[in-house]
Amino acid sequence: MYVGCMFHPPILRPMDADSGSLNRRVFLLGAGAVVGAGFAGLALPSGAQAATAPRIYSCAEWSARPPADPLVTLNHPANRILVHHTASANSTDYSQAHAFQLARGIQNDHIDTNGWSDTGQHFTISRGGYDMEGRHGSLTALRGGSTR
């Protein structure tokens, strides 16, 4: 799953019972906590717990290649979020190693096949629930309140 800009209210943090990791929807909801998106006053659903910032693995942690070209940072905060799916086959391997392999495969395809400077998405959420920075600098931009 590709995730564009991450500005959404922090609401829930249910864990996947099998892997102990966040599911995709909760990553999107919790990411707002990272940037303090200003959604104070929203009521939590019955039985819900407030979200904490999700664990997001950086490009360095999943051994991303450097960008092929310099990347541009926008000078304004994001006002939308885009969620997209990958073109890869579903897998029953929910491991972190597989998630990192998926991220590298997506980046290789985007750079080598599409001719892009880097991965096209800001964040990748694996089927196993591992959250990874996609495009270099996205995690820094998310935490700083700007976008790439």
User: Does the domain at residues 1-148 carry the CATH identifier 3.40.1350?
Assistant: no
pLDDT attached to residue 145:
62
10 Å CB burial of residue 123 (0-12, 13-18, 19+) is buried
Task: Give residue limits of the domains in the chain.
Answer: 1-148
- On the question of pLDDT at 12 being above 50, the answer is no
**What's the pLDDT at 91?**
87
**What does the alpha-carbon distance between residue 126 and residue 134 come to, in Å, rounded to a whole number?**
12
Q: What is the mean pLDDT of residues 72-100?
A: 82
Structure confidence at residue 36 (pLDDT): 43
Residue 51 and residue 11 in contact, taking contact as beta carbons nearer than 8 Å: yes
| pLDDT tens track for 103-112 | 999 999 999 9
pLDDT the model gives residue 42: 57
- Whole-number pLDDT of residue 48: 74
